[in-house]
Amino acid sequence: MIAIIADDLTGANDTGVQYKKNGYSTTVKIMNDNDVSSSMFKTSDVVVINTDTRPLSKKDAYDCVFKLAEKLNSVNNLEYIYKKVDSLMRGNPAPELEAILDSTDAEIAIVASAFPDNGRIVTDGTLLMPDNKHVDITNIFNTETKRKAVNVRLINVREGAESLKQYMEGQMENGADIFVFDTVSNEDLATISDAAMLIGKKKIFCGSAGLAKQLGRKKKAEQKYDGTVFIVVGSRNAATAHQVRMATETFKLPVVLVNSEEIIDGRYEKAVSESVEKAKEYYLNGNKVVIIAIDSLFEEYTVVLRATATENAKSLKVAESLGDIVKRLYEHIKPVSFVATGGDTAFQICNFLGSDGMELVDEIVPGVPIGILREGMADGSSMVTKSGGFGDEDTLVKVINYLMVNRK
């Protein structure tokens, strides 16, 4: 069994689905309770656990992941732990990776956070980000852990798996235990995964969906989906705004804009009930796809790597309102397929529906998986999850087409 620890739900899904596409049975544990005795840990090839630790402090994130990894380390059939990190290195990647190393018998960590399919690459140990922002990944692991992190340059990766293995073994003799790899292509990730498997030490893999894609390698499942689709957009992101615009223009879709100001300032019930009634009205008028989005979606926005506690609290309240809206709609309209943009949004939808797991089925486009919800009132319903910044302008169009072509 392979265990993946992710700090938010969309990341859990877009990484887990890489294994599913390769033929592994894959289940996502939506809410972490540190219980590794459930049947999914015995019957699934891959179990992805969402810790929801991205907005936590470094200490709280460390403590949460330490307890979980300690439990996972006792699972008899555990092959390895994969620490899923955000491809923009948001959250607490270093404390969480150290927590796994501290609580298990793993000796080294393979860090390859690049996701070339979505334009995320690493050179000289530095993540190249949108808006010309850079993040020194090697420095993060050297300053935020007590471990020795070394950057493995692209020239070493390109020499092939066997040569790369020998280079890493030499670095281990000099005390290195965290390896941060330069990566600009899927071929580089494949070489890194192959080299790591040649090393006879217990290891932790740490990366985004890109590395997971190469650790598995390929098969596809067939599934039919419910025709009515609710697209729930809680991620305030320029990429998502463009995707929503193109989808509405292409399919002439109605959009329910949720009043986020009312949600935050105490008029929660008014904002939620009005949004539910508007969405029901659109559905009853014959619309098979309805978009529900926060009203600030189309405002200008700058990427924030670490939000304040106040900002996190407001975002959580808005995400909870979206989950509440979906639950109230589902009480009247079913069967339904859900599309959730943003990790908090996806988590709160599952939370309000009482779903404890998601059986991953396919990946529609890179970074956009689809699965079947398990447990709760929407057991058996399909759900697509997408991180806010992922995808091209036509990503939502492709998602809708996929669901319509494969509808029941």
- How confident is the model over 296-301, as a mean pLDDT? 67
The lowest-confidence range among 79-83, 90-94, 307-311 is 307-311
Q: Which token pair is 136? A: 């020194």
Is 174 found in the same domain as 55?
yes
- How confident is the model over 299-317, as a mean pLDDT? 66
In a domain? residue 221? no
In a domain? residue 224? no
CATH classification at residue 308 = 3.40.980.20
Strands (E), 252-407: 255-258, 289-294, 337-341, 357-365, 368-374, 382-386
Specify the pLDDT at position 304: 43
- For the cut 80, the answer to whether the pLDDT of residue 308 exceeds it is no
pLDDT class for 223, splitting at 50, 70, 90?
low
Nearest to 332 by CA among 256, 276, 406, 401: 276
58-72, 329-343, 389-403 — which one is most confidently predicted on average? 58-72
pLDDT class for 191, splitting at 50, 70, 90?
very high
- What is the rounded average pLDDT for all residues in the chain? 89
Measured in Å, how far apart are the chain's first and last C-alpha atoms?
32
- For the cut 80, the answer to whether the pLDDT of residue 278 exceeds it is yes
- For the cut 70, the answer to whether the pLDDT of residue 131 exceeds it is no
Specify the pLDDT at position 76: 78
Specify the pLDDT at position 402: 85
- For the cut 90, the answer to whether the pLDDT of residue 335 exceeds it is no
Return the amino acid letter for 269. E
- How confident is the model over 176-203, as a mean pLDDT? 93
- How confident is the model over 284-300, as a mean pLDDT? 84
pTM: 0.66
Nearest to 94 by CA among 53, 50, 142: 142
Specify the pLDDT at position 286: 85
- For the cut 70, the answer to whether the pLDDT of residue 358 exceeds it is yes
pLDDT class for 59, splitting at 50, 70, 90?
very high
Question: Which of 181, 216, 251 is the last residue before a domain boundary?
Answer: 216
State which residues form the domain around 376.
229-405
* Residue 19 and residue 212 in contact, taking contact as beta carbons nearer than 8 Å: yes
CATH classification at residue 100 = 3.40.50.10840
Is 150 found in the same domain as 278?
no
Is 233 found in the same domain as 208?
no
Is 336 found in the same domain as 314?
yes
Is 297 found in the same domain as 209?
no
* Residue 193 and residue 214 in contact, taking contact as beta carbons nearer than 8 Å: yes
Is 383 found in the same domain as 245?
yes
Is 64 found in the same domain as 106?
yes
Is 235 found in the same domain as 207?
no
Cα within 13 Å of Cα(242), Cβ side = 12
Specify the pLDDT at position 224: 64
Question: Which of 216, 251, 278 is the last residue before a domain boundary?
Answer: 216
Q: Which token pair is 157? A: 């990766």
Q: How many folded domains does the chain comprise?
A: 2
CA distances from 315 to 30, 89, 186, 261, 343 (A): 19, 19, 34, 11, 11
In a domain? residue 190? yes
Specify the pLDDT at position 37: 86
Residue holding tokens 């609710």? Answer: 230
- Percentage of residues of the chain with pLDDT beyond 90: 62
pLDDT class for 219, splitting at 50, 70, 90?
very low
pLDDT in tens, 369-395: 999 998 899 998 999 999 877 888 889
Apex CA 162: angle with CA 161 and CA 168, to 5°?
85
* Residue 13 and residue 385 in contact, taking contact as beta carbons nearer than 8 Å: yes
Is 298 found in the same domain as 252?
yes
Is 212 found in the same domain as 74?
yes
In a domain? residue 246? yes
The lowest-confidence range among 43-57, 145-159, 305-319, 357-371 is 305-319
- How confident is the model over 14-19, as a mean pLDDT? 92
Is 127 found in the same domain as 191?
yes
Is 237 found in the same domain as 210?
no
pLDDT class for 221, splitting at 50, 70, 90?
very low
- How confident is the model over 343-359, as a mean pLDDT? 93
Apex CA 403: angle with CA 289 and CA 316, to 5°?
60
What is the three-class DSSP state of 335?
Answer: coil
pLDDT class for 218, splitting at 50, 70, 90?
very low
The lowest-confidence range among 153-157, 221-225, 256-260 is 221-225
pLDDT in tens, 20-30: 988 888 999 99
- For the cut 80, the answer to whether the pLDDT of residue 211 exceeds it is yes
In a domain? residue 271? yes
pLDDT class for 99, splitting at 50, 70, 90?
very high
In a domain? residue 18? yes
Specify the pLDDT at position 198: 85
Question: Which of 159, 192, 216 is the last residue before a domain boundary?
Answer: 216
In a domain? residue 358? yes
